[in-house]
Amino acid sequence: MPELNDRLKLAVAQLDPAVGDIAGNLVRARKARAEAAEAGADLVLFTELFIAGYPPEDLVLKPAFVAACMAAVEELAEDTADGGPGVVIGCPLRTEEGLYNAVAILDEGRVLAWRSKVDLPNYGEFDEKRVFQAGPMPGPVNFRGLRLGIPVCEDVWGDLGVCETLAESGAEILLVPNGSPFYRGKLDVRHQVVLRQVIETDLPMVYANQVGGQDELLFDGASFAFNADRSLAFQLPQFRSGVYVTDWVKSGEGWHCGGGRVSTIPGDNEAVWRALVLGLADYVDKNGFRSVVLGLSGGIDSAICAALAVDALGASRVHCIMLPYRYTAETSLEDAAACAKALGVRYDIVPIAEPVEGFLSALGPMFDGTPSGITEENLQSRTRGVILMAISNKFGSMVVTTGNKSEMSVGYATLYGDMNGGFNPIKDLYKTEVFRLARWRNENQPEGLLGPSGEAVPERIIVKPPSAELREDQKDEDSLPPYDVLDAILEHLVEHDGGVDELVARGFDRDTVAHIERLLYIAEYKRRQAAPGTKVTRKNFGRDRRYPITNRFREGGEGEA
């Protein structure tokens, strides 16, 4: 192949691979390479473990899986004999020394080299040390006369000196394949991480990030590059797949990209909404569900979940069910119908009085002489859960469950009832954020989403006091502090692992904080059985926060028995 001399056309493949779909990911890679070739690219940069999909977790412990990934890379390498663009692509690598999170550099019909990730993350959602071995310090790879440094994701974030080593050994440009999950404000964090390395190495850096949902994780793309002079070379769109060709020129001061695309990055509300939409869409589509079904109660949580589902899948793939009982207010029936009409979804009413009374009748002899209370309330919720699961089984629709992070935190939810479902779009949203996003969506219709313009969540749903409607005149604040107070306490305890004394020093009532802390701990067993949901905060329930179920620690005191 001719040497590049002083010009490079680099294509960044910001795509949505599927974990375990090795053949499909190879097809995606070939299609992206063909698109890059059409645009005259010299090299295509894919993302971390692209062939396997990221994160593959324990799949990489299966020798057959890793062998199939490596075979796919060899096939792709053969394609490069056509004189078209070379390829940098992520793939698990097994050698006699061990198993690595690696990158293959392909050109001239062969694998030119492999480079392995040195710094394996082992925090938050990451546990790569469990499955991979750390690679050796890498040197540059010679690609058509250009010395490429290829640190892999955490190699840029950590402090092991990988980028510095590459610079000292002659790298001219740093290409970084990433699988960096989204949370609020993450792009600014990435920019700062990359700028630090650019300043330390005096080299330009290209940060390629994947797009799409993988279980609870959401990858937002937003790939970018900084030149050695700290200027932003390009910024690709967030939450959007594509192959983007960038132009680089070499001068006496090294490689520089000028006039690259700088996409507008959504504000916080739109970014979170798009993340939740994409996370739900990918979970449904990648797992083969034709449609979704959810209980539409006339409350804010189910309404916003319905709106997210329509934005993600289109109205024809969303089925809403109202499941009224004697405590369901007439206004709730009206509000649920209005929401379904605004979203254009199929809407059915399935009264639950008969099955609930049947359960109560069957249990009557055993319950005789005991006061009615939480058990009878939970029977209503569990009846609704059984009905929704029956509809799911009959028609192949996945049940969307609708509990917010405030409820999941304190256990204000019924196992095998309203917690039934395959996926929860708002699992990582506190209740106050649910209200804020509902108002935002009513005023905005993000481009490319499938829902209607205008009001998606009727205003009356947003302004009325939240209620589970499991007993007469019930309100959430009968059992919980006001949500602005509750969420402030929870954010401190959950997101920051903060303490009770700190909250009291900030003016919160000690007994209230101690009560919430206790509820947070004792609800762990429920969260372990909850449906997955898209992560949008720094610390979600599941991958990020792993507390024991059996746990007697209480900073605020033992409190209630």
CA 424 – CA 346 distance, rounded (Å): 20
pLDDT tens-digit readout, 103-141: 999 999 999 999 999 988 887 778 888 999 999 999 999
- Give the pLDDT of residue 317: 97
Q: What is the pLDDT of residue 97?
A: 92
Q: Which of 35, 69, 91, 117 is catalytic?
A: 117
Query: Quick one: CA dihedral 455, 461, 450, 318, positive or negative?
Result: negative
357: left (phi over 0), alpha (psi -120 to 50) or beta: alpha
Do 352 and 239 belong together in one domain? no
- Rounded CA separation 185/30 (Å): 33
Known binding positions for ATP: 295-302, 402
> What would the two tokens of residue 401 be?
């469950």
Binding-site annotation, residues for L-glutamine = 123, 180, 186
Token pair of 285 as six digits: 């589509």
Kindly state whether residue 27 falls inside one of the protein's structural domains. yes
Dihedral sign of CA atoms 482, 483, 485, 486 in order: positive
Whether residue 487 sits in one domain with residue 370: yes
Strands ordered across the beta sheet of 205-209: 141-143, 146-149, 173-178, 205-209, 224-226, 232-235
Q: How far apart are the first and last CA of the chain?
A: 75
- Amino acid identity, position 340: A
Q: Last residue of some domain: 245, 265, 285? A: 265
Residues 335 and 247 in one domain: no
Residue 247, C-beta contacts closer than 8 angstroms, at least 6 positions apart? 7, 8, 9, 257, 258, 259, 260
What residue numbers does the annotated binding site cover? 123, 180, 186, 295-302, 378, 402, 407, 526
Pull the structure tokens for residue 469: 């409607």
Q: Into how many domains does the chain fold? A: 2
Q: Provide the residue range defining the domain that includes 284.
A: 269-528
pLDDT < 70 regions, the chain: 1, 467-478, 557-561
Active-site entry in 69, 91, 153, 257? 153
Q: What CATH number corresponds to the domain at position 120?
A: 3.60.110.10
At residue 558, the pLDDT reads 52
Closest CA to 10 of 125, 131, 177: 177
Within 13 A of 516's CA, how many CA atoms are on the CB side? 28
> Do 27 and 83 have their domain in common?
yes
Q: Where are the beta strands (DSSP E) in 278-363?
A: 291-295, 318-322, 346-349
Q: Which of these is catalytic: 48, 154, 216, 270?
A: 48
Do 182 and 283 have their domain in common? Answer: no
Instruction: Judge whether 339 counts as a catalytic residue.
Output: no
* Eight-state DSSP code of residue 471: S
Q: Catalytic: 69? A: no
**Within a domain: 1:** no
Closest of 326, 296, 320, 503 to residue 397, by C-alpha:
320
Q: Is residue 201 part of a domain?
A: yes
| Active-site residue, 394 included | no
φ, ψ for residue 207, nearest 5 deg:
-110, 105
